[in-house]
Structure 1
Amino acid sequence: MTSLVLASQSPARLATLRAAGVDPLVIVSGVDESQLAGLPPAELALQLAELKCAAVVGRDEVPADALVLGCDSVLDLDGEALGKPDDAADAVRRWQAMRGRTGVLSTGHCLHDTATGRVAAATASTIVHFADVSDDEIAAYVATGEPLWVAGAFTVDGLGGAFVTGIEGDHHNVVGVSLPLLRELVAELGHSWTELWRP
């Protein structure tokens, strides 16, 4: 049975995979996400996913017959790549810029088959519409700490869900991993999505 290794410390990605019947081994990549600054948002997301995957593939704790998944999400607002905010003040500024507007959340996915050495990679993008939130709502949300740990400084599966008025595309992608895209990458490497389901 093929196992999945998640090269990410994101609790939201882990929860999404577990809810879909997959219980991955988590190995945090430790990749410095600032090293690729300046790339266009979708390209940045994919290259960071590839770096995270590559950083984990060669580790001793990775099974010989595993699929290693690296993911990274970036919000594109007017062509600017927004990952995790630097601090609370940065998160407040972001929300002041995002409110009442629309961005594109891109998540890069890189899947490496340790048995064959083959790699499949792609990016999923979802349009996100943000509510016209007040300064008080922004301050209260940032004070929770939640937006400090996520790309774009928002969630749809947590406290930030009330501040997202709609999405166009795969909502799982906004959480951090596109299940439909991941299924396609698994198939591209010659495996079946259902073989990843825990028994």
Structure 2
Amino acid sequence: MRVDLPQLVLASASPARLRLLQTAGFSPQVRVSDFDESQVQLSHPEALVNQLATAKAEMVIQSLETDLAHALVLGCDSVLAVDGEIHGKPKDSTEAIARWQRLRGNCGELYTGHALIDLGRSTRIVRAQVTQVYFAHISDRTIEAYVRTQEPLKCAGAFALEGYGGLFVEKIVGCHSNVIGLSLPLFRQMLEQIGYEVTNFWETSL
């Protein structure tokens, strides 16, 4: 890595977020925060994802080694809001089925909070992106088959756009990668706001 660029640390266990960053030319280290999300109870989805993303980044920072004292830490969190109600990951298959019975033929708003903390420059930026997701009107049988794949149990909103769930999304209005868990355009804007040229990070993976 170039000496004038900090190491990017992804404070998330999400394989989808890691793949997004790698595909965009970044080489992040992954550190999982294990933050207890139940500690944060907010009714507004944007405020909720921003606070959770920040908490995850801050918890990871506390565990970083000396050689990462100047790291660039990115925390993220996503929820789906439908008719004003916030949905994270379903707790079990029964809840996932009920969730999809509500989602089908409906539209939800996928919120992802992004907390970017530059330890070397003592700078932090916290912003959220929102994308509208329109779901197909699928049968109970299809819902049950989808839930049996276990994919909905691992995802905010009970679906993964980049997986089986992509078959059941009719339309997206807004940032596509945001629905996967990290808005690449927003991340670029945040890096530029701090003062980094995003293309310089590509050299770490070429």
**TM-score range for the pair, normalised by the shorter chain length:** over 0.9
Q: Is the 8 A contact 1:131 1:165 kept in 2?
A: yes
TM-aligned CA deviation for residue 124 of structure 1: 0.3
Moved more, 15-24 or 103-112: 15-24
The equivalent position to 1:51 in structure 2, one of 45, 55, 68, is 55
- Establish whether residue 60 from structure 1 lines up as the match of residue 64 from structure 2: yes
Q: Is the 8 A contact 1:4 1:196 kept in 2?
A: no
- Establish whether residue 97 from structure 1 lines up as the match of residue 96 from structure 2: no
- Establish whether residue 174 from structure 1 lines up as the match of residue 175 from structure 2: no
1: CA distance between counterparts of 2:187 and 2:136? 29
The equivalent position to 1:158 in structure 2, one of 152, 159, 163, is 163
2: CA distance between counterparts of 1:37 and 1:130? 27
> In the alignment, what sits opposite 1:19?
23
2: CA distance between counterparts of 1:186 and 1:116? 12
> In the alignment, what sits opposite 1:114?
119
- Count how many residue pairs are aligned between Structure 1 and Structure 2: 199
TM-aligned CA deviation for residue 150 of structure 1: 0.5
TM-aligned CA deviation for residue 196 of structure 1: 2.1
2: CA distance between counterparts of 1:115 and 1:38? 31
For the structure 1 residues 187 and 165, does the alpha-carbon distance in structure 2 shift closer, same or farther, using more than 3 Å as the test? same
Cα deviation, 1:154-194, whole Å, max 9, x if unaligned, reads 01100100000010011100000000000111111111211
> In the alignment, what sits opposite 2:81?
76
Amino acid at match of 2:25: G
Q: Is the 8 A contact 1:157 1:175 kept in 2?
A: yes
2: CA distance between counterparts of 1:38 and 1:95? 23
Cα deviation, 1:12-49, whole Å, max 9, x if unaligned, reads 10111111111210000111111213421121111100
2: CA distance between counterparts of 1:92 and 1:23? 37
The two structures, once aligned, show a CA RMSD in angstroms of 1.1
* Structure 1 unaligned regions, length at least 5: none
* Structure 2 unaligned regions, length at least 5: none
Q: TM-score normalized by structure 1?
A: 0.97
Q: Secondary structure at the match of 1:31?
A: coil
- Establish whether residue 9 from structure 1 lines up as the match of residue 13 from structure 2: yes
Identity of aligned residues (%): 49
1: CA distance between counterparts of 2:197 and 2:174? 23
Q: Secondary structure at the match of 2:68?
A: coil
- Establish whether residue 34 from structure 1 lines up as the match of residue 38 from structure 2: yes
2: CA distance between counterparts of 1:108 and 1:76? 13
2: CA distance between counterparts of 1:58 and 1:191? 24
Q: Is the 8 A contact 1:2 1:195 kept in 2?
A: no
Q: Is the 8 A contact 1:31 1:55 kept in 2?
A: yes
TM-aligned CA deviation for residue 2 of structure 1: 2.4
TM-aligned CA deviation for residue 195 of structure 1: 2.2
